[in-house]
Amino acid sequence: MNNLQGFGFVVPHWAYWGWLVVMPLVFMYFIKREESKQKASPAKQTEDLALDVLADEDPVLHAQGNRLTKLIDKISDYTGVFIALWTINAVVAYFYEVVMRYLFNMPTIWVHEASFLLFGMQYLMAGAYALLHGAHVRVDILYVRLPERGRVGMDIFTSVFFFVFAMALIGTSWGFFISSLEMGETTIETWGIEYWPVKLLMFSGAVLIMLAGISKLIKDIMLFRAMGEANK
């Protein structure tokens, strides 16, 4: 990064990517250890209450599923928490930028770019977590008027369109990643960080949301059959 001499402190590319991998793991370790000391934390109680409210709209949120769906759901949940912790980095980085810019008159050349890349990667990776917890926006003018089994059946029917979208996203994002890697694509800003990790996360997010969709479809089918048997 010799071409960046004279700009003051600049985060090396390897440190940026490495920190995004290590930092959430450290935080998740301490969060898990703290939660193990408490039987039911207020945060967990709040999450359960939110799920109860959403379950009135989407019954499958409380479906048990099977071993495969539980494994996929755990992956979706952990990846969602992992990338959510990146937000701490953006807050700290922008605080550093404000201090350097207004107190020392030394604005950075990397904080803004690092942060908007981070937010973009969070957006790409959050789809599976949002699908697991029923956070995606749906047009519910008709949906909420259906009985519970009708809503589950509607989800099964519309999953066809979801999987078409997910497969298209996987295919196009893989092509973007390969092209970016082969050409050594970087941002056009002075920091010039690599773009291929961002494109790789786009592909990873697409795979995760596909897996989350498979899990939801399995649980929808199981719940639809169970509701049908209960009504006999």
Q: Are 16 and 114 in contact (CB under 8 A)?
A: yes
Kindly report, residue by residue over 78-87, the tens digit of the pLDDT.
Answer: 999 999 999 9
152 Cβ neighbours under 8 A, 6+ residues apart: 59, 60, 220, 223, 224, 227
Q: Shortest CA distance to 194 belongs to which of 185, 182, 183, 203?
A: 185
Partners of 194 in beta bridges: 186
Kindly report, residue by residue over 87-136, the tens digit of the pLDDT.
Answer: 999 999 999 999 988 998 888 889 988 998 999 999 999 999 999 988 87
**At what angle are helices 67-84 and 86-102 packed, to 10 degrees?**
10
Kindly report, residue by residue over 174-203, the tens digit of the pLDDT.
Answer: 999 999 999 999 988 888 899 999 999 999
Kindly report, residue by residue over 45-68, the tens digit of the pLDDT.
Answer: 555 544 454 445 566 676 778 899
Give the span between the Cα atoms of 132 and 126, in whole angstroms. Answer: 10
Partners of 186 in beta bridges: 194
